[in-house]
Structure 1
Amino acid sequence: MSNLEGFNIEDMVQPPRGGGEMQEPKVEQLMGKLRRLKQGKRALEEEVEKLKSVSDLLQKELENLHTEAFKLEAIHKEKEEVCSKLQFQCEESEQDTARQLWLNKKSEELLEQYRYEIQELKLKHRKQRMKFENQLDQLIEQHKNLLYVFTPERLPDELEGAQNTKSQLLAAEKLKLAQLHNLDEALEEMKNQKQSEAVTAETQEE
């Protein structure tokens, strides 16, 4: 474009004036001006091509930026969804853990209550057994003393009946003790199972 500076197109169409008279333009001058015009045209065309190339490049870069922005938005949305799911799972896991801890605590309290009741039953049964043995000993002693009241023929039958009664009561006592022992073992097994489930739940959470 620098080739066009200082050049006026009117110089081509209007011949120069000298001394108030019209002068015919010289062919050399016209050819020089024509060359300068062609050079200016080529410079303009080159400048337009450069500007068009830069514009195309910028347009392509803008399209690439739009594509990249769209991809980043999709990735961001996907990560937000994953984060939301993980947060929800974390909250559920915390709730499950709290619920499991509460259940374990209740189970331990219940087991402790059962153990205490079993101990009370054992103590009560021991007292009843001691009382029964004392009463049985007194009864046997009374049967022995009845020797003077009952005939010798009936006394063996009475003693045998007392012994049978004692055997039955002792058998009933053993049965109750066995039942209490089984109940104690069942409670202990339940406690161990609860502890195992708690350990398993903690391992899964980790």
Structure 2
Amino acid sequence: MEDIFNATPLKKDLQTSEPKVDQAVAKLRILQQGKEVLEEESDQIKSVRDSLQIELQKLQTEAYQLERVHKDKEELCNKLQFQFDESEQDCVRQLKNSKQSEGLMEQYKCEIQEYKLKHRKQRLKFEQQLHLLIEQHKNLRSIFTPERLPDEIKTTESRKVQLESAEEMKLAQLSQLDEELQDTRTQKQVGIGP
């Protein structure tokens, strides 16, 4: 462009009032060519500017969308972090409860085992007592059978007679001792009195 303006400098001649027509036409052509070149460049610049403007709008729209996506993801991340923290706390609580439950379960197992052992001892004791009663019943049954009953009655009657005679003897001895005691008391009273 500068070449166009510098190629033909305007000379002002004081003596000639009008420039030469050829020079003016040449300058006019050069200026027209320069104008066309400037218009083409201006059109190109406008075209580039329009395309850049469109691209800028697209980029701004994309940036806005990306900001919204980023904001949404950040909110989601915060929610997920909150849920994770709550889940972790819940997990810790459940683990603590689980340990307490395991402890209680062990305690109950021990108590159940003790109860079973106690019950088993009682059952064994009962079984032994029952076995002993069965044996005693068998022994009593063998002693008091209908076949042996008349002999047992005779033996019991003879023992009764023996006990009665022994009792009579004891009563006689007691009576004799009582008489002797009475005599002794009387003798003491008689000896002490006069």
- TM-score bin (small chain): 0.5 to 0.7
The aligned runs of 1:33-112 (5 Å cut-off) are 33-112=27-106
Cα distance in 1 for partners of 2:34, 2:89 equals 81
Cα distance in 1 for partners of 2:23, 2:39 equals 24
- What is aligned with 1:4? 5
Q: Is the 8 A contact 1:3 1:40 kept in 2?
A: yes
1:24–1:67: structure 2 CA closer, same or farther, 3 Å change rule? closer
User: Normalising by the residue count of structure 1, what TM-score does the alignment of the two structures yield?
Assistant: 0.52
Q: Is the 8 A contact 1:4 1:40 kept in 2?
A: no
Superposition CA RMSD, Å: 3.5
Q: What percent of counterpart residues are identical?
A: 55
Give the number of the structure with larger relative contact order, counting CA–CA contacts within 8 Å between residues 6 or more apart.
1
The aligned runs of 1:1-206 (5 Å cut-off) are 1=1, 2-8=3-9, 10-11=10-11, 14=12, 16-17=13-14, 21-22=15-16, 24-128=18-122
1:5–1:122: structure 2 CA closer, same or farther, 3 Å change rule? same
Cα distance in 2 for partners of 1:130, 1:41 equals 127
Cα distance in 1 for partners of 2:81, 2:16 equals 94
1:42–1:109: structure 2 CA closer, same or farther, 3 Å change rule? same
Residue 111 of structure 1 deviates from its aligned partner by: 1.9
**Structure 2 unmatched ranges of 5 or more:** 141-194
**Structure 1 unmatched ranges of 5 or more:** 145-206
Tell me how many residue pairs correspond in the alignment.
140
Q: Which residue identity lines up with residue 37 of structure 1 in the other structure?
A: L
User: Normalising by the residue count of structure 2, what TM-score does the alignment of the two structures yield?
Assistant: 0.55
